[in-house]
């Protein structure tokens, strides 16, 4: 995708949603970190459902350690891989207390040293908590980057590097949110809703999906 097309791509996404936000619920930097760790291979909605009661009770690493692994499991048992995630959350909480005074570090490398925190999680926290121009490539962004031609790559890191190189100002801070939301609700995996995509003409995807029959018929009736 050419530079002027990339700018227009993000300009349209920004115009449609000027203030995008993560759909994960949190009350501070620490609970954001925990929520992102729990969201691996799980839906944001499922994580939010599990963490509302948890975060009302636990909002610091010290409180999480006091709750303990078994107590945490009771809150998050509806989330996939909850046993491993509980162990990691307790371990990262202990690491935050021991190494960072109980505070979430504003440094990607330091975040990646925490148990259960990979590059994507670190990028999300850096972006949402600290306003860093990072690009957290999940399955949605990987798909959108490749399907549209915006940031093609065979690995998530390759797509991330393409985005770092191509996304212009003033769109860099919110770019990953626009792409996630676009992939989640419009450029879907099985059946992308090209008929209501506001960047379809900039996209290299050739098999543009038409609107559902009932929608087309309704539109025709309304037109008459």
Q: What is the DSSP letter of 207?
A: S
The 8 Å CB, 24+ separation contacts for 99-102 are 102/60, 102/61, 102/62
Is 135 annotated as contributing to ligand binding? no
Are 198 and 16 contacting, i.e. CB atoms less than 8 angstroms apart? yes
> How does pLDDT run across 32-68, given as a tens digit for each residue?
999 999 998 899 999 999 999 999 999 999 999 999 9
Query: For position 213, what pLDDT does the model report?
Result: 77
Are 65 and 59 contacting, i.e. CB atoms less than 8 angstroms apart? no
Mean of pLDDT over the chain: 92
Is 197 annotated as contributing to ligand binding? yes
Same fold, 3-19+135-202 and 29-130: no
Query: For position 1, what pLDDT does the model report?
Result: 85
Are 172 and 6 contacting, i.e. CB atoms less than 8 angstroms apart? no
What is the average pLDDT across 147-167? 96
Is 159 annotated as contributing to ligand binding? no
pLDDT category of residue 209 using cuts at 50, 70 and 90: confident
Residue 223 has pLDDT above 50, yes or no: no
**CATH number given to 3-19+135-202:** 1.10.1670.10
Question: Where along the chain do its domains lie?
Answer: 3-19+135-202, 29-130
List, by residue number, the catalytic residues. Answer: 120, 138
Query: For position 222, what pLDDT does the model report?
Result: 34
CATH top-level class of 29-130: mainly alpha
CB atoms within 10 A of CB 20: 19
pLDDT category of residue 80 using cuts at 50, 70 and 90: confident
Query: For position 90, what pLDDT does the model report?
Result: 98
Which of 22, 41, 25 lies closest to 84, judged by CA? Answer: 41
Is 67 annotated as contributing to ligand binding? no
């Amino acid at each position: 995708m050419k530079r002027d097309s990339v700018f227009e791509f993000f300009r349209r996404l920004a115009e449609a949603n000027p203030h995008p936000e993560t759909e994960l619920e949190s009350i501070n930097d620490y609970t954001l970190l925990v929520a992102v760790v729990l969201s691996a291979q799980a839906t944001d909605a499922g994580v939010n459902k599990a963490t509302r009661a948890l975060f009302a009770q636990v909002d610091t690493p010290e409180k999480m350690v006091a709750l303990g692994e078994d107590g945490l499991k009771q809150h998050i048992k509806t989330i996939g891989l909850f046993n491993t995630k509980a162990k990691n959350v307790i371990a990262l909480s202990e690491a935050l207390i021991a190494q960072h005074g109980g505070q979430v570090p504003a440094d990607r490398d330091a975040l990646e040293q925490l148990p259960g925190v990979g590059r994507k999680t670190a990028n999300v926290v850096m972006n949402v908590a600290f306003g860093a121009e990072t690009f957290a490539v999940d399955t949605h962004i990987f798909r959108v980057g490749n399907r549209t031609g915006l940031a093609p790559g065979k690995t998530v890191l390759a797509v991330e590097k393409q985005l770092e190189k191509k996304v212009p100002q003033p769109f860099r801070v919110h770019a990953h949110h626009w792409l996630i939301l676009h992939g989640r609700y419009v450029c879907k995996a099985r059946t992308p809703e090209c008929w209501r995509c506001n960047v379809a003409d900039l996209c290299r995807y050739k098999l543009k999906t038409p609107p559902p029959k009932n929608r087309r018929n309704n539109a025709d009736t309304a037109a008459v």
